[in-house]
Structure 1
Amino acid sequence: MINPATLDFLKELIKNNNREWFQEHKGDYDKARENMIEFATSLIGELHNIDPGIDEALDSKKSVMRIYRDIRFSKNKTPYKNNFGISIPTMGLRNGGVEYYLHITPGESFIAGGYWMPENDHLKAIRQEIDYNAADLKKIIDEPAFVKLFGDFRNQEKLKTVPKGYEADNENIELLKLKSFVVWHKIKDADLSKADALQNVTALCTKLYPLTVFLRNALA
C-alpha cells in the first residue's frame, strides 16, 4: 500500500515547494520514495503475471520517476514535482512508449495505460493498425466495463484535420485523428492506503491489458 505518510509528505511539499524546506525534510522524502520503490517492486511482479511484455527483472528504482523538475526552459520555477510517478514500460526501458503508469498526488492520483503522444514513426504504425484492425480496437474501447472505468477513449488529443494518407470519409477517421492513445482511472487517497491497494491497482491494469496488446502489436 501507499503509506499515508507518503501522501502527507506530498501535501506539505505542495505548500512548501522550495529547496530550503525540502532539505529540512529530506528524511521524509527518502522514506516516501522508499515506499514508492517497494510498491513498484510488488506491482512489477504482479503485472508480469498478467502481461509477459513486462520484464519481471525491471529495476523498480528506475521505474519510480525523479521528483526533481527540469526548470531550465519552464516558466514554472518550482524545483520539485508535486507527485510521485511509477512508469512500467511493456517493451523495455528504451523500446517504445506503451506503458502502465501510476500517478500519486493527494486528491488526484490515477492509474493509466497506453501510449502518450507517440513519436512520428510510432504514430504512423498505430494509425495503420487502426486502419487495418479498427474492429479489434473498438471491441476493447467500447466494451461497457472499459468505458465505465476509463471513459471515452476517443476523447483525447487529436488532429483538427485529416491525417496524411487517409480520407475524410473513412469510417474510423475520428480514431485515426488521435495523437495520443491513453486512458486513466482516478484512485482515491483512502483506497491507496488500504491493505488491498496493490490488488486493486493490479485489477485495473488487467482491464488495460487488451489495449496494451493492441498498441504493442502495432509496433511489432
Structure 2
Amino acid sequence: MKNNITIPKSSLDFLTELKTNNNKPWFDANKQNYLNELNHIETFAGALLEELSKTDVLETASGKKSVYRIYRDIRFSKDKTPFKSFWGGSYTRATKERRGGYYFHIEKGNTFVAGGFWGPNTADLKRIRAEFAHDDEPMQKILQSKSFVSNFGNLQGEQLKTSPKGYDSDHKAIELLRYKQFLVIRRFTDAEVLSDLFLEQALETFKNMRPFFDYMSEILTTDINGASVL
C-alpha cells in the first residue's frame, strides 16, 4: 500500500477559492495553481488505481485518465459557471462480465466514494427487476451484511414513487423493484480526506462493493434461468 500518497490541504483550498471565483479570468490567472493541484489528484488516483487493480480487472488506463475535466459542459445548463468545484474521477471494470463502476468525488465538506449503476438501460433494468421479483434474498443478504451496512448504510439511488409496470404494490420485493439506479456511497470528513489513511480507506470502500458488484454482474450476464447471455 502506497500510504505515503495523500491529498494535500491545498487541493481542497483551491476548490474553495474556485467556488468563490468561478470565472475564466480568475482561473486563467491561477492556471499554474490548478495544474499543481491536479497533479496531486492524478497521483492519488493513480495509486488508488494500482492498488484496486490487484483485486479487480479495470480498463481505465491510468490515474490521469480517470480524473474528470474541471471544465463544465454548460451548453444545456441554466448554471453557466464554467468550472466544477470538485475533483472527480472513475474507474471502469473490464469486459462484459464485470458490471458496475467506481467513482470518487473530492470536495471540501462533501467528499464521498461511490459505486454502482447510475443509468441502467431499459433492458438491464428489466432484467434486474425480474431477478429481484423472482428471488430477492441474495440481494437482501448483501444489503444487510455487516460490511455493507458499516460502509454504506443503505442502497441509494433514484426510485419510482409508484410500482414499476407489471408489479403489484404489495410485492414482497417492492422496495428493491422501485429503484431506477443502484448506488452505494460512503462519505468522508475533510479530516479523513487529508489524513494518511485516506488512500487505504478509499481502497477498502471499493473492495467492500465487490459482493454487490459481483452479484449484479451475475444477474446482468445471465437470463432468469441462470444461463449465460454473453
TM-score by length of 2: 0.86
The correspondence for 2:47, drawn from 27, 33, 42, is 42
> Which protein has the bigger helix share?
1
Percent pairwise identity: 38
Displacement of 1:77 = 0.6
Look up the equivalent residue of 1:147 and give its one-letter code. Answer: V
Displacement of 1:169 = 3.1
Q: Which runs of 5+ in 2 are unaligned?
A: 1-5, 222-230
User: In the superposition, relative to structure 1, how do residues 133 and 90 fare at CA in structure 2: closer, same or farther (>3 Å)?
Assistant: farther
1:1-220 alignment runs, 5 A limit: 1-52=6-57, 54-55=58-59, 58-91=61-94, 98-153=100-155, 156-220=157-221
Displacement of 1:125 = 2.4
Q: What SS class does the counterpart of residue 71 from structure 1 fall into?
A: coil
CA RMSD, Structure 1 to Structure 2 (Å)? 2.1
Q: Distance in 2 between matches of 1:95 and 1:209?
A: 13
Q: Distance in 1 between matches of 2:167 and 2:82?
A: 44
Displacement of 1:40 = 1.2
User: In the superposition, relative to structure 1, how do residues 46 and 133 fare at CA in structure 2: closer, same or farther (>3 Å)?
Assistant: farther
User: In the superposition, relative to structure 1, how do residues 133 and 87 fare at CA in structure 2: closer, same or farther (>3 Å)?
Assistant: farther
User: Which shifted more, 76-85 or 156-165?
Assistant: 156-165
Displacement of 1:133 = 4.1
User: In the superposition, relative to structure 1, how do residues 199 and 66 fare at CA in structure 2: closer, same or farther (>3 Å)?
Assistant: same
Q: Distance in 2 between matches of 1:96 and 1:116?
A: 15
Q: Distance in 2 between matches of 1:87 and 1:151?
A: 22
Q: Distance in 2 between matches of 1:133 and 1:32?
A: 48
Q: What SS class does the counterpart of residue 58 from structure 1 fall into?
A: coil
Q: What SS class does the counterpart of residue 158 from structure 1 fall into?
A: coil
Q: Is the 8 A contact 1:111 1:184 kept in 2?
A: yes
Tell me the alpha carbon deviations over residues 135-171 of structure 1, each in whole angstroms, 9 at most, x when there is no partner.
1111111123422321221x54211222123333321
User: In the superposition, relative to structure 1, how do residues 158 and 71 fare at CA in structure 2: closer, same or farther (>3 Å)?
Assistant: same
Look up the equivalent residue of 1:69 and give its one-letter code. Answer: R
Q: Distance in 2 between matches of 1:206 and 1:96?
A: 14
Q: Distance in 1 between matches of 2:42 and 2:220?
A: 29
TM-score by length of 1: 0.89
Tell me the alpha carbon deviations over residues 52-87 of structure 1, each in whole angstroms, 9 at most, x when there is no partner.
3x24x6232221011111111111010001101111
Which of the pair has more CA radius of gyration?
Answer: 2
User: In the superposition, relative to structure 1, how do residues 203 and 176 fare at CA in structure 2: closer, same or farther (>3 Å)?
Assistant: same
Q: What SS class does the counterpart of residue 136 from structure 2 fall into?
A: helix
Q: Distance in 2 between matches of 1:66 and 1:128?
A: 37
Tell me the alpha carbon deviations over residues 30-57 of structure 1, each in whole angstroms, 9 at most, x when there is no partner.
11111111111111111122223x24x6
